[in-house]
């Protein structure tokens, strides 16, 4: 995807920076929540950091160049170190999308408080902040889809009763197939993305000044 902006160095750098920021803050939030809830595993593995190099996945990063999606290395945590493993696992999972939405809101506030920064395509900072808003909102809502290995799957599991959670966990092995069938448009259209797209558009309409959409 990023290669499509290669002819415009300003857009390329801005959108690449926005991708790095979105992925980094997402994984850092998982690590921070895990550490706060009693599991030091991410910190011991060097994941409790805002250094993008600690979180980037080689293949996931390459996919960003060629496709409209990508991914970072998942933050591992040990549920046996958590006080309430099922509940705390859900909190750790929710921390990533929540951090993305907070970052998008902060970027929106900057655009509205300092409108001179966002004169459309003429402002590199405006392009960067707009890209941060768009990418973080999309990443947050995509990860809230309740399909393994996305965060939404573990969030739902934490909200269910113990018996229902065990039954829900049995769907984990079908996650990859469900992603291909329900999310990625292999057969013409994506039923899941068609549902979340209006939600994404609504949130972006609230966060993005009309003159800063890229």
Partner residues linked to 56 by β-bridges: 72
Closest C-alpha among 63, 55, 4, 58 to residue 27: 55
Query: For residues 113 and 80, is the Cβ–Cβ distance under 8 A?
Result: no
Please, which contacts does 165-170 make with residues 24 or more away whose CB atoms are closer than 8 Å? 165/86
Annotated catalytic residue within 11, 27, 162, 172? 27
Q: Minimal CA–CA distance to 29: which of 133, 102, 99, 88?
A: 99
Where b means 16+ CB within 10 Å and e means fewer, 147-163 reads bbebbbbbbbbbeeeee
Q: Is 83 within 8 Å of 37 (Cβ atoms)?
A: yes
Helix (H), strand (E) at residue 52:
none
- Whole-number Å distance between alpha carbons of 201 and 176: 26
The answer to whether 27 is a known catalytic residue is: yes
Positions marked catalytic: 27
């Amino acid at each position: 995807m990023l290669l499509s902006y290669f002819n415009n160095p300003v857009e390329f750098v801005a959108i690449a920076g926005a991708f790095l920021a979105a992925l980094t803050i997402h994984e850092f939030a998982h690590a921070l929540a895990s550490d706060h809830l009693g599991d030091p595993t991410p910190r011991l593995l060097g994941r409790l950091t805002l250094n993008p190099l600690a979180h980037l996945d080689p293949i996931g990063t390459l996919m960003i160049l060629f496709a409209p999606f990508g991914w970072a290395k998942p933050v591992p945590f040990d549920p046996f170190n958590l006080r309430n493993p099922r509940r705390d696992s859900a909190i750790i999972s929710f921390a990533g999308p929540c951090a993305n939405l907070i970052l998008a809101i902060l970027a929106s506030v900057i655009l509205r408080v300092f409108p001179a920064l966002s004169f459309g395509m003429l402002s590199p900072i405006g392009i960067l902040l707009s890209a941060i808003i768009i990418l973080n909102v999309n990443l947050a809502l995509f990860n809230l889809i309740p399909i393994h290995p996305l965060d939404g799957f573990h969030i739902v599991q934490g909200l269910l009763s113990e018996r229902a959670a065990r039954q829900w966990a049995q769907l984990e092995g079908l996650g990859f197939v469900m992603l291909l069938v329900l999310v990625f448009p292999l057969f013409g259209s994506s039923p899941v993305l068609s549902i979340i797209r209006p939600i994404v558009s609504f949130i972006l309409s609230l966060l993005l000044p009309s003159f800063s959409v890229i």
